[in-house]
Amino acid sequence: MGDETTTGSALPGAYLDRLPKADLHCHLIGTVRAATFAELARREGLALPDEPERIFADINSLPPDPALYRDTRIPVPQGRSADEPAVSYSLFQASNWVVDVLRDADDLTRIVYEAFEDAHRSSSTRHLELFFDGVPPHLESLGYVGSVEAYAEGIRMAERDFGMTGRMIQGIDRSRSGEHALGLVRQVVDHPHEYVAGIGLDNLETSGPPERFADAYRLAGEAGLGRTAHSSEHAPTAVNTVTCLDLLGCDRIDHGYYVLEDDEVVARMRDEQVAFTVVSTTSRRSWRPWRRASIEAMLDAGLRVIPASDDPGMFPTTLAAEYRIVHERIGATAEQVRSMALAGVDASWLPPAEKAELRGRFESEIAALDAEFGLTRS
């Protein structure tokens, strides 16, 4: 797309690692280090079927009913992949175990801080937006306000130590009722916090249609909160993404691969430059080739895709690894890669002045990297 380097179109791996990045789609529990989980599990005497490090290494969520995916435009693998472990642990099961060992405010602050530290050190992440779910079951005494403040303290520490910025996203479990979601959003609205910037619909898309949550999203919109949703990820249809935009008022979409099922929707997404946070690595190992083929098709269609890490501690992956995959395996051009990094800032939920300042930093850092690596842009 009008970009060449002095040595061809490939960007060096070190350049991709050091490229400034914003991660807009990352689940806090999915960032927890295996070593941290092991330490907390020992502290609480949690009985596990294997060592925490082994469990994390063997996370492999099995896909939903394959019959749902037999006629998709980009074929979805129907069998198992060669890298699946003999004993698999689902992402949800591992996440539940992690939640079970969180017992005080310091635990919450710690996992947030470590999420930022890992993102900073592994991927040159400058801005991170973390999904958090309801109050952990053993921390009900903290309540919503106490939990959010514990999370926020981790962000403040990361801002101080790493020069990063961060925000939190109240996750909405789509397997629950619309009334439950409305209650969560009321908490966010009634107790505004500078670090809670928006809401996001998560969990398996097939367990709850987006229209179920219209009232919750309407309230969030009235309060000026950012709105996103996991969409067109598990349900092989573009309709849910249209609903998320038109009924829920989402200003970005998490995943979105199945918009490719409808040419008219693809054209609309391209024309409106809807931001899609995409992740080429998933706990459904057999689906990874399909994910990557879908992202390639989205790029070819001119859609605005922004790499994200999702659950980096458990897949495992890093945001830098996702950028490497997008460039080296999927084939995004150097200019597309740079545009993705800047799009991450533009689609973030920072206040306008902070967003403008961060974008300026990104532009300066990218220009400095280009000069250091001897890259030319036409």
pLDDT in tens, 2-21: 333 333 469 999 999 999 99
pLDDT of res. 8 = 44
pLDDT of res. 5 = 36
pLDDT of res. 126 = 98
- Distant-in-sequence contacts of 241-246, Cβ < 8 A, 24+ apart: 241/265, 241/269, 242/268, 243/209, 243/210, 243/211, 244/201, 244/210, 245/274
Instruction: For residue 6, give the DSSP letter.
Output: B
pLDDT of res. 63 = 79
Q: What gap in Å lies between CA 60 and CA 314, rounded to an integer?
A: 10
CA dist list (Å): 201 to 88, 110, 118, 186: 26, 25, 25, 15
pLDDT of res. 125 = 98
Q: Decide if 13 contacts 344 (C-beta within 8 A).
A: no
pLDDT of res. 378 = 62
CA dist list (Å): 70 to 36, 62, 66, 234, 260: 40, 16, 7, 13, 15
pLDDT in tens, 85-140: 999 999 999 999 999 999 999 999 999 999 999 999 999 999 999 999 989 999 99
% pLDDT > 90, the chain: 92
Residue 183: strand, helix, or coil: helix
Q: Which amino acid appears at position 150 of this protein?
A: A
pLDDT of res. 134 = 86
CB count in 10 Å sphere of residue 111 = 25
Interior/surface letters 18-32, b for 16+ CB within 10 angstroms, e for the rest: bbbbbbbbbbbbbbb
Residue 190: strand, helix, or coil: helix
Interior/surface letters 138-159, b for 16+ CB within 10 angstroms, e for the rest: ebeebebeebbbbbbbbbebbe
Crossing angle for the helix pair 105-123 and 34-44, nearest 10 degrees?
160
pTM for the model? 0.95
Structural domains present in the chain: 13-372 (3.20.20.140)
Residues of the chain short of pLDDT 70, as ranges, are: 1-9, 378
Q: What gap in Å lies between CA 16 and CA 267, rounded to an integer?
A: 30
